[in-house]
A and B are shown apart, each in its own frame.
Chain A
C-alpha cells in the first residue's frame, strides 16, 4: 500500500470519505433530519464513485452527434444508468423517511429519536 496510489486516485478516496461521513451520520446522529441528510450523503458518495468509475479520460458522453459510432470515442454509459436508478431509489426512500419523521414530529413534538422513545414509554405507563 503506497501513498502515491491514494493521491493518484484521490476522487475515489473522496467518495469513500464522504461515504464514511454519511454512514456514521445515519448511524450515530440522534436528530432524524440529520440522519436523513447522512443517508443522502452516503448515497451520493456511492453515485460519485460509480460515475468516476464509468468516466474514461478525454472521452465524451455516449450521445451520437457528429455521426461517430465507434465505441472508443465515448465513456461507459452503464454506470450513468445505474446512478439514475440509484437516484430514483434514494429519492423514494428519502421521501418515505421524511414522511415518517413528520408523523413522529406531529405526535411527539421532537426530532430526537431517543427522546421519542422515552416519551412513548412514558405514554404507555
Chain B
C-alpha cells in the first residue's frame, strides 16, 4: 500500500482533532490553526488526486484492516479527490473573504468557537466525500448539520437564532427520512458498505423481488437529501439563514454545505443503488419536476426581494433547482452537467456573497437596493467581482455559468420527452436571472444623486480590505478558469463518474 492512500483518512482526522484544539486557543491563534489545517488538507487532497490520476483506478482504504462486509471503508476515486481539493480551496477563500466581518460581528470571547465549527464542517464534508459506508455517511450528515447551525447562530441576534431553529427543523426532517431510507436498505440487503449494497440491490432488481421497498428507500433517501439541500418546496429556511448570518458563514453554507449533501446523493445513485436502477424508477421524475419548478420560482422570489443578501440567497434556490433537474434527466450527461454545476455554483455563489459584503460596507452597512446605488464606484474591486459573479450566474460566455448551462442543454438534447421542458425552463430561468442580477449591476453602477446616498456611505480604497480583495481576485480567477478551461474538468468528472461503478 502506498503512503498516499493514508491521506484521505489523515485529512479527516486532522480536521476532526483541530476542532478541539482550537477550542483552547484564543481567536487569533484559532484562525491561524484553521487556515493552516485547511491549506494542509488542500495539499493532501491534491496529492491524493494526482495519485489516483496516476494509477487510473480508485482505491479502497480499510479502517483497521477488517475485510469487506464487516469493516468500515474509505474509497477514493478521481472525483472524490477533486471535490475535496475544490471544497478546501473554496472554503479557504470564504474564510479569507469574510475575516473582517467575523472580527466585527462575532463577540471576542466567541471567536475561536467559530473555527471549531468550521473545522468540524470540513471534517464532515471530507467524510461525506470519501466514505464508503452508508451509516457513517448518516452520522457525518448530522455533524454537518450541527456545525452549519453553529455557523448561522454565532452572530448573536434574534434573527440568526430564529433562522438557525428553522434550519435545524427542516434539516432534522430531512435526516429523519434519510435515516429511515438507510434502515430500509439495510433490511433489504443486510449490508452497510456501499459496494456490498450495490451487489445485493442489483440482484433484487434483476429478480424483481422487494420492488416496492427498494424504491421506497430510494425515494426516502432522495427526498431527505433534497430537503437538506433546499430543493424548491423545502427552501423556506434558506433566505433567513443565508441572509442574516455573517458573510463567511453564508458563503460556506451556500457553496459547500448543500453541495456536500448533493454529492452524497450522486454517490448513492451511482455506488449504492446503481445508476440504471435509479433511471428506471419514477423518483428521478419527481426530482426533475421539483428542480424545474425551483429554477423558476427561486428566480421569481429573488426578483421580488428588496435586499441584496436575500436576493443572492433566493438565487441559490434556483441554482439547486438546476442541479436536481440534471439528476432528473436520468442520463450520464445530465449527471455530468449537474456535477459541473456544483463546481460552478460553488465558485460563483461564494464570490457573490463576499462581493456583496464589500458593496454593503461601502454603503454604510445597508443591504437595501436604494442605498447601494453607485456602490460599484465606491468599492471598485467588489463592484467588478459582483459583475463577474452576476454574468456567470446569468450564463455569459467566458464564465463558469455558461458552461454549465451549455452542458445542461446538451444533456437535454438526448432526451425525447424532457427536452422541450428543460430547454424552455433553462431559457425562462436565464431571462429571470438576467432581470435580477443585471438590475443589481446597473444599480451599483448608477452614480448616486447628491443627498440620496446613505449617510454613512463612503469610498473604500483598494488597500483597506486586503483579505477580502485577495479572496475576490482568487474567486474571479477560479470562475474564469472554470469557464475557459472547462474541457479537462468535464473530462475529469466523466472519468470520476466512471470510477464510481
Binding site for B on A (CB under 8 A): 19, 22-23, 26-27, 32, 35, 39, 42-43, 46, 49-50, 53, 78-79, 82, 85-86, 89, 92-93, 96-97, 100-101, 103-104, 107-108, 113, 116-117, 119-120, 123-124
Contacts and interface: CB of A to CB of B under 8 A. Distances in A.
7 contacts: A19-B180, A23-B176, A23-B177, A82-B183, A101-B165, A104-B161, A117-B162
B139 interface: yes
Nearest to B153: A100
Interface string B141-160: 01001100100010000110
Contact of A53 (B135, B176, B183): B183
Contact of B165 (A32, A43, A49, A86): A32
Interface in B122-153: 135, 139, 142, 145-146, 149, 153
Interface centre among A93, A107, A117, by most B CB within 10 Å? A93
A56 B317 CA distance: 46
Contacts of B192: 78
Contacts of B173: 23, 26-27
Contact size class for B?
20 to 34
Interface of B: 135, 139, 142, 145-146, 149, 153, 158-159, 161-162, 164-166, 168-169, 172-173, 176-177, 179-180, 183, 186-187, 192
A124 B162 CA distance: 14
Contacts of B164: 100
Contact of B158 (A35, A107, A113): A107
A93 B176 contact: no
Main secondary structure of the interface of A (DSSP, over half): helix
A53 B217 CA distance: 15
A8 B177 CA distance: 24
A44 to B, nearest CB: 11
B179 A113 contact: no
B479 to A, nearest CB: 34
A93 B183 contact: no
Contacts of A26: 169, 172-173, 176
Contacts of B145: 93
Given A46-B176, A92-B142, 20 more contacts: A19-B180, A23-B173, A26-B172, A35-B169, A39-B176, A42-B176, A43-B176, A43-B179, A50-B183, A82-B135, A82-B186, A86-B179, A89-B139, A93-B172, A96-B168, A100-B161, A104-B161, A113-B165, A120-B162, A123-B158
Interface centre among B135, B149, B173 (most CB of A within 10 A): B173
Contact of A85 (B135, B162, B186): B135
A117 B164 CA distance: 13
A37 B162 CA distance: 18
B162 A39 contact: no
